[in-house]
A = this chain, B = another copy of it.
Amino acid sequence: MQHRKILLTENDIPDHWYNIVADMPNKPLPPLHPGTKEPIGPEALAPLFPMELIKQEVSADKWVSIPDPVRDVYTLWRPTPLYRAYGLEKALDTPARIYYKYEGLSPAGSHKPNTAVPQAYYNKMEGVKRITTETGAGQWGSALSFACNHFGIECEVYMVKISYEQKPYRKFMMNTWGATVHSSPTDHTNAGRQILAGDPNSPGSLGIAISEAMERAATDDNTKYALGSVLNHVLMHQTIIGLEAVKQMEMAGEMPDVVVAPFGGGSNFAGIAFPFLRLNFDEGKTIRCVASEPSSCPKLTRGVFRYDFGDTVGMTPLLPMYTLGHNFVPAPIHAGGLRYHGAGVIVSQLLKDQLIEARAHDQLECFEAGVAFAKAEGIIPAPEASHALATVFAEAQAAKEEGKPRTILFNLCGHGHFDLKAYDDYFSGRLVKHEVTSADIENSLAMLDTPLI
């Protein structure tokens, strides 16, 4: 009997997160004030985030201690297993050795609770009564609902109206953990009322939901805001994935040649890749790290590196990022978690410095890979995870063509239990390729008047 799983014990749960900023040859550029366009300091974030998270956001310490109460909640599902994908290797008839880290075992079904839990914890420690956030497809909203429930904090989620109506299961999940879920735009924020005045039937957007959640936090002393990706502290919390995976690969007796993860705002990719990049920095290893993005939203492979807003309406600080422009509207692909116009600051700098790679895949290619994976390994992957799979398939094919082994590790960031409608659309031929023309990208970028780098 072959051993598929490499398991750690609860004692092996890392006691520090890894902060890659300490090792980056070029440090991230500072955020700029949205109005003055001058660099801003951490104090500008104080209305939105608790001080401990702001400290982490600007920290240059290489290791940041994980509080015991956070590790205690992690034990509800961590450490997560590392699988050797024997079934997939056989199905692909490849000499590549394929491993995956499975993050779908968390109560919310994805890697998102890895950061939701510490974010809720630090808010609790600073006496915050309520956290607001936005959610699209609902993965982040459910993760934060779960975490807030654990620490006894109210959670208020602004869910994009069209998802609220089309994907009720995620809403019910948030309700089960006690969260209040609003169909955004609402009539109880200025931002929402403004949108509704223009279009009472607005289907909402992530940009609008961000504006509503931020407004709520900025105007209530007991309320803070939480973000599920992009920011430095969020990426750092996710490194628990890769820190565990490094130990598990050591147990397997080898290191990956290439590490692959889906790419939305960056936390998924950072989570598994940064601890392996550390081995490149500290031990001179040459592990390739590849971010897999949708070809319908190709900021890493076809965007530009410049300052841009994090939201659609231009309220957030300006961040130095690979971006398609904050007015870019990605096609409605099923990997909702990857439909974001910009990349997190750290990942953008690493890509600029050619320390990581990126690759784009069409959703049809991704679903084909996802179905093949489900048949070979059992687990039905989330559409986001299938983007990593498409890269893994390409790497496995390259190994086959070269006739040489290659060790591949990827982040299976979540299950697809709430995405089965998308699988049905795929089987029924209702999914289409989404080609982004160069003109689409140029038009979106032409609208930017943000500072160049």
Contacts and interface: CB of A to CB of B under 8 A. Distances in A.
A424 B149 contact: no
Interface string A2-34: 111101011101000000000000000000000
A176 B423 contact: yes
A105 B107 contact: no
Q: How many copies does the complex hold?
A: 2
A1 B15 CA distance: 11
| Residue among A11, A68, A178, A420 with the highest chain B CB neighbour number at 10 A | A420
Given A105-B105, A178-B375, A424-B168, A3 B173 contact: no
Given A10-B3, A75-B4, A417-B417, A173 B380 contact: yes
Contacts of A76: 4, 87, 377-379
Nearest to A375: B149
A305 interface: no
Given A169-B420, A169-B421, A420-B169, A2 B75 contact: yes
Interface residues of A, number: 47
Interface in A370-385: 371, 374-375, 377-380
Contact of A175 (B10, B72, B178, B424): B424
A1 B109 CA distance: 24
A402 to B, nearest CB: 29
6 contacts: A3-B10, A105-B105, A146-B378, A149-B375, A176-B374, A178-B375
Interface of A: 1-5, 7, 9-11, 13, 68, 71-72, 75-77, 87, 105-107, 109, 146, 149-150, 168-169, 171-173, 175-178, 371, 374-375, 377-380, 417-418, 420-421, 423-424, 427
What are the 7 A-B residue pairs with the smallest beta carbon separation, nearest first? A107-B378, A172-B420, A417-B417, A172-B424, A169-B420, A4-B75, A76-B378
